[in-house]
Amino acid sequence: MTAFSDCGRAAWQSACALVLALCLCLVGGDVTAQETQLIRSPILSLDQDRMFALSDFGRRFETALQADGAQLEIENRRIESELEAEEKDLTQRRPAMSPEAFRALADAFDVKVQRIRTEQTAKARALALRTEEAQRQFIAAARPVLEQLMIDAGAVVIIDPRSVVMSRSAIDVTDEAIRRINSSIGEGPGGGTPPQDAPDKPKGD
């Protein structure tokens, strides 16, 4: 048997290199497909709290909520300082006032304190209600995405993992849901935050 000519050897090496490259491409393609392929299952698991918290919508909302909460805390400290100063002034004026006049001013001050406390408590509750409203808006906006996710997976139900005793992690589609929701709705309408008014300043007497 004669040896390969230089031309034949080069052709053979080129062919081998091409086959090797094709094999590597095929293997790489299979791995990629396996990494991104959505599981086919009639039951999917979805952590709604994690989906909301890690979505662009949820992150934007949490940032806005923290900023408004910090603003409310600053407002509360300012009001507290003002009320303490007013109470101190009233105490210093007491010796020069009749008991009746002092009692009238003290009662008016107590009414003012109770009113302001009620207003600030209402603002704190409003922040909590905004979270619930944001979650409702998020689920409403994400519903079409989740429905398509079910169709793609051949699923008939999505369950909350907290209500399951044991399951395969493969049916958890939370990360895939986050990816699709971010791609579809991003930070959501209004930057992911329900409309709200800025905290009001306390009313005067």
Whether 4 is in a domain gets the answer: no
Q: Find which of 129-138, 161-170, 185-194 is predicted with most confidence, using mean pLDDT.
A: 129-138
Whether 150 is in a domain gets the answer: yes
Q: Report residue 141's pLDDT band, with 50, 70 and 90 as the boundaries.
A: very high
Whether 200 is in a domain gets the answer: no
Domain count for the chain: 1
Residue 104 has pLDDT above 80, yes or no: yes
Whether 95 is in a domain gets the answer: yes
Rounded CA gap, 27 and 17, in Å?
Answer: 15
- Residue 114 domain boundaries: 39-192
Q: Report residue 144's pLDDT band, with 50, 70 and 90 as the boundaries.
A: very high
